[in-house]
């Protein structure tokens, strides 16, 4: 809102398509059900996209929330009586995130009216979604003003995926970046900022994130070994990765940016 950087202006004048806020869907073709990871402000459009790729008899089972920053939970309001009027959508999150919803309107109303059901979850404990799918919430250090923050590890029939859309600093992660990434087949990581000089008018300690350049340096040997595919997501509007030339540069190093609607088979 109110930004006149080239990336935002290209969208305004129609030179680029609008991009959705980062999120995932988890689809089980045997149970014929799906879950969403985070409820973004683009939830309605992301739900419509899911409806275009799954058969009509698939059920919307729930949403897994990573934390209480606006890009990750505000979309819950669309589940209420003014909009979707959902019935008992499961909300899986840490206990502190659940308490935030219970104690703050309008989200508390979703609970009172039965639009959502809350499932507080311990971190690092696997949760079976179906016979073939399980998730774990892994604690990560982030600006925890209203809730704590979690990454999501998804284990499928043949492989696994790690989703870390937000983290302050890889150095402060007790799980360890290399340990977490090498334990999965696909890692989708915080790519908010490309380098240290991206926001000259903002102090990085106000909005800490590891840079794409730093993360690539840390994981270059992992990517070179082909043991894990590493993708970036959660790009800020200022990020140089919106430039196709810069994206080609990181692809030469073996890294990728997740495409809107891209699918992975687990």
pLDDT tens-place string over residues 165-201: 999 999 999 999 999 999 999 999 999 999 988 876 7
Length of the chain counted residue by residue: 266
The ranges assigned to domains in the chain are 18-125
Output the CA angle 201-203-209, nearest 5 degrees. Answer: 115
Mean pLDDT of all residues in the chain?
A: 95
85 within 8 A of 115, measured Cβ to Cβ: yes
Give the pLDDT score at 205.
73
**What percentage of the chain exceeds 90 in pLDDT?**
92
CATH tag for 18-125 (out of 3.90.180.10, 3.60.15.10, 1.10.40.30, 3.40.50.1000): 3.60.15.10
Reference 26, options 136, 156, 120; nearest CA is 156
Query: Which one-letter DSSP state was computed for residue 193?
Result: B
pLDDT for 235 = 96
Q: What band does 125 get if pLDDT is binned at 50, 70 and 90?
A: very high
Say if residues 152 and 165 touch (Cβ distance below 8 Å). no
> Taking 90 as the threshold, does the pLDDT of residue 87 lie above it?
yes
pLDDT at 99 over 80: yes
Residue 67's pLDDT band (boundaries 50, 70, 90)?
very high
Q: Which helix (H) or strand (E) holds 219?
A: helix 212-224
Kindly list the distances between the CA atom of residue 246 and the CA atoms of 68, 131, 215, in Å, as whole numbers in the listed order: 31, 41, 15
Query: Taking the mean position of all CA atoms in its chain, how far away is CA 196?
Result: 22
Token pair recorded at residue 214:
């730093």
pLDDT computed for residue 201 by the predictor: 73
% residues pLDDT > 70 (the chain): 99
Q: What is the DSSP string of 10-43?
A: HHHTTSS---PPP-EEEEETTTTEEEEES--TTH
Residue with tokens 């509007």: 237
In angstroms, the CA 130 to CA 127 distance is: 9
pLDDT tier for residue 261 given thresholds of 50, 70 and 90: very high
SS3 162: strand
pLDDT (0 to 100) of residue 203: 73
25-52: burial string, b at 16+ Cβ within 10 Å, e else: bbbbeeeebbbbbbbbbbbeebbeebee
Q: What does the DSSP 8-state code read for residue 138? A: E
CA-to-CA distance for 84 and 110, rounded, in angstroms? 11
């Amino acid at each position: 809102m109110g930004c006149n950087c080239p990336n935002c202006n290209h969208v305004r004048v129609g030179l680029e398509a609008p991009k959705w806020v980062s999120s995932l869907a988890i689809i089980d073709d045997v149970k014929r059900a799906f879950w969403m990871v985070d409820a973004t402000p683009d939830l309605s459009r992301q739900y419509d996209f899911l409806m275009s790729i799954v058969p009509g008899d698939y059920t919307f089972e729930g949403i897994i929330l990573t934390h209480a920053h606006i890009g990750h939970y505000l979309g819950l309001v669309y589940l209420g009586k003014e909009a979707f009027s959902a019935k008992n959508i499961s909300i899986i999150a840490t206990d502190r995130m659940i308490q935030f919803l219970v104690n703050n309107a309008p989200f508390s109303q979703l609970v009172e009216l039965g639009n959502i059901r809350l499932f507080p979850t311990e971190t690092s404990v696997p949760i079976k979604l179906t016979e073939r799918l399980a998730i774990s919430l892994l604690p990560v250090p982030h600006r925890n003003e209203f809730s704590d923050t979690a990454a999501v590890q998804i284990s499928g029939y043949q492989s696994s995926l790690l989703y870390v859309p937000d983290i302050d600093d890889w150095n402060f992660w007790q799980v360890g970046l290399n340990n977490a990434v090498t334990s999965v087949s696909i890692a989708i990581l915080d790519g908010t900022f490309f380098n240290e000089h991206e926001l000259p008018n903002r102090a990085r300690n106000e909005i800490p994130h590891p840079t794409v350049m730093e993360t690539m340096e840390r994981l270059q040997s992992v990517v070179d070994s082909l043991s894990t595919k590493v993708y970036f997501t959660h790009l800020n509007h200022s990020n140089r990765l919106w430039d196709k030339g810069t994206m080609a540069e990181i692809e030469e190093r073996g890294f990728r940016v997740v495409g809107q609607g891209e699918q992975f088979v687990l």
